[in-house]
Amino acid sequence: MSVVVLGVGGGIAAYKACLLARLLSEVGHEVHVVPTRAALEFVGRPTWEALSGHPVHTEVFDDVPDVEHIRLAERADAIVVAPATADLLARLAGGHADDLLTTTVLATSAPVLLAPAMHTGMWQNAATVDNVATLRRHGLVVKAPATGRLTGRDSGPGRLPDPDEIAEFVDLLITVPECAAAMAQQDLAGKRVVISLGGTREAIDPVRYLGNSSSGRMGRAIAQVAAARGADVHVVAAHVDVAIPSDVQITRIDSTEDLAEAMDDLAKQADIVIQAVAAADFAPVAVDTKIKKHEGDDATGATMALQLHQTPDVLARICSQSVQNRIVVGFAAETAPDRDQFLKLAQAKLARKGCDLMVVNDVSGGKVFGKVGTDVTMVHQQGPGRRITGSKSQAAVAILDEVRALLATQ
């Protein structure tokens, strides 16, 4: 069981931290809530104690015999502060230790994730910008806020991301603590990343379609991690079963033809293209009216033939574009009787498409698609590379690490 310290700043978004505490507890973490004095004006101590199952303190002198700030700092596998207000960011950036939360953060060696929430003007203020830069320089991970409706009538960047999105990052920092450095350093800052994800739907008639089992989870994880590492991320989303990250641009598409059109333009402007979408290789020759079923007593068992046409090879089209110093990553789902044959298929596809890196899933027997975990192998022009098993967020970190290494060789 991992120990997570949940710090809560004094902002209206503190109510969302209640759900975050519940989510973290439900997946098996031992959660200790440390609110600021101001946070208790929004959500009371009994609520935090009921959700976490632990006593809640705000001051260093609340539990002197246990030296609470050192005990929590040493036991924590991760510390997450949500919401992190402008005032709290300023105090942390200045190395203040004037309450239990700031003292605990100052004393810990565990990864620290800050999820800011405040008015747009405060987030964009030069003082806050400087404080965020300082915190990142000190190794803390600062997740950019979501854009949307704020308190009152205003909208803009400053919303606290959804609790489930924050919880995923907490799990990532616990399972892959070394990724905190890349996020703090913003090692993909200034890079334009285009990621396609989900599964296309190919119309049969106005009410039916052919689709596939892709959930979009892998592409979503890559988009989350890339944005957290400072990249400017644009997602091209086909049908997905998950929410798109709050800090990326989105273009929605349905079919492989739509995908080709969107990627033709976006890929030319990108430094990194990651084609994680499950695009159909064939699509029905669609009709404009609904196909009627056979009626009557003798209709049971009647058959219908679908005529299919081959769709554009979007990945190959992207790779054929004349764009300098761009990294293109393809994804492939393969079935094979054994690993040797699986790797041969992957290597052949990499050579055929012409991309810099191919990430291959073995989907034999229904593996991977729609699952939380994954098992993928990265394949280079020189041969098979690293095999990655674990969560899709862990795979996303490894894939982007590989992309970063490829960029460094250009």
Q: Is 281 annotated as a binding residue?
A: yes
Q: Which residues contact 137 (CB under 8 A, 6 or more apart)?
A: 184
Q: With contact defined as beta carbons under 8 Å apart, do 27 and 57 qualify? A: no
Q: Strand runs (DSSP E) across 134-188, as ranges?
A: 141-142, 146-149, 155-159
298: left (phi over 0), alpha (psi -120 to 50) or beta: alpha
Residue 140's identity, in one-letter code, is L
| Distance, C-alpha 57 to centroid of its chain | 32
Tokens standing for residue 11? 């902002």
Q: Is 315 annotated among the ligand-binding residues? A: yes
Residues, the chain: 410
Residue with token string 């989900």: 198
Determine if residue 268 is labeled as part of a ligand binding site.
Answer: no
DSSP string, 292-306: PPP-STT-TT-----
Rounded distance between C-alpha atoms, residue 53 and residue 15, angstroms: 18
Determine if residue 353 is labeled as part of a ligand binding site. yes
Rg (Cα) of the chain, in Å, rounded? Answer: 24
Written as one letter, the residue type at 76 is A
Q: Cα torsion at 213, 219, 221, 225 (round to 10°)?
A: 180
* Structure tokens, 297: 């007593």
In sequence order, the 6+-apart residues with CB closer than 8 A to the CB of 367 are 361, 375
User: Counting Cβ atoms within 10 Å, is residue 309 exposed (0-12), middle (13-18) or buried (19+)?
Assistant: exposed
290 is in an annotated binding site: yes
For residue 108, give the 3-state DSSP assignment.
coil
Q: Is 313 annotated as a binding residue?
A: yes
Strands 327-334 and 383-391: unpaired
Q: Was 42 annotated as part of a binding site?
A: no
Enzyme catalytic residues: 212
Question: Containing H/E element for 247?
Answer: none
| Binding-site annotation, residues for CTP | 281, 290, 312-315, 331, 349, 353
| Binding-site annotation, residues | 281, 290, 312-315, 331, 349, 353
